[in-house]
Chains A and B, each alone.
Chain A
Amino acid sequence: GENVEQHPSTLSVQEGDSAVIKCTYSDSASNYFPWYKQELGKGPQLIIDIRSNVGEKKDQRIAVTLNKTAKHFSLHITETQPEDSAVYFCAAIRFGNENLTFGTGTRLTIIP
């Protein structure tokens, strides 16, 4: 089955700086990679996703890059703000399968 590794487990970034979270996956057939943000006491919220036919996707301050050859994808948050503080999860899935495989999560803290 799929195995997703996520690094780092914790990340502290000065407000205004950029944050990068990296994930690797094992199943080369995976073709959809969402990122979720989970605030304390809440469920994960989808913030951006990317399909395997695209190398990069951007939405305002958030971007995701995908390297299919190396089987890794990354989340980039620029101009970080205090409200970006949360736990971020990457995930991978192959269309046709039903279950997402999640990474272990990254606790991001933005220092004012």
Chain B
Amino acid sequence: GAVVSQHPSRVICKSGTSVKIECRSLDFQATTMFWYRQFPKQSLMLMATSNEGSKATYEQGVEKDKFLINHASLTLSTLTVTSAHPEDSSFYICSARDSGQGARPLHFGNGTRLTVT
């Protein structure tokens, strides 16, 4: 089945530093990937839609200069949390949809637990 790999699974960083999270589609091409943030015991909150070869589309209230997204290839999107602060601590999850699959199910990575100290 379709697999989305997300790395790292867990990262601890100091306040003020930047952290990059990678999302890869392993056995399919994805022109579009999605980045979510999930707070404890809550649903997934869409942060942005990552489009291969073009700028990401950010949801209202999400700072594009703080959460930099790059989707340079059909199998890789990255999310960089810049100048991280403790309030950025959260569970970040990416997802991707097989561009060539008509049913278009969405597959998720296993998430990245970010802790900013």
Is the pair A42, B110 in contact by a Cβ cutoff of 8 Å?
A: yes
CB distance from B60 to the nearest CB of A (A): 12
Given contacts A98-B32, A102-B44, contact A43 B6 (CB under 8 A): yes
B105 CB contact (under 8 Å) in A46, A98, A102, A104 = A46
Q: Which of B13-50 contact A (CB under 8 A)?
A: 32, 34, 41-44, 46, 49
The interface on chain A, measured as residues whose beta carbon lies within 8 A of the other chain's beta carbons, has a size of 22
Q: Are B109 and A102 touching (Cβ within 8 A)?
A: no
* A72 to B101 alpha-carbon distance, docked (Å): 26
**Given A32-B104, A34-B106, A99-B49: A43 touches B43 (CB 8 Å cut-off):** no
Interchain nearest-CB distance for B117 vs A (Å): 19
Check if A41 sits within 8 Å of B43, measured CB to CB: no
Total A-B residue contacts, Cβ distance less than 8 Å? 48
* Cα(A32)–Cα(B103), bound, Å: 9
Number of interface residues of B (CB under 8 A): 23
Which chain A residue lies CB-closest to B49?
A98
Closest to A101 in B: B46
| A112–B50 alpha-carbon span in the complex (Å) | 42
Contacts of A34 in B (CB 8 A): 105-106
Can you give 29 contacting A-B residue pairs, CB < 8 Å?
A: A32-B103, A32-B104, A34-B106, A41-B113, A43-B4, A43-B93, A43-B95, A43-B108, A43-B109, A43-B110, A43-B111, A44-B93, A46-B107, A46-B108, A49-B103, A49-B105, A89-B43, A91-B106, A95-B104, A98-B32, A98-B34, A98-B49, A98-B97, A99-B46, A100-B106, A102-B43, A102-B44, A103-B43, A104-B42
List residues of chain B with CB under 8 Å of any chain A CB: 4, 6, 32, 34, 41-44, 46, 49, 93, 95, 97, 103-111, 113
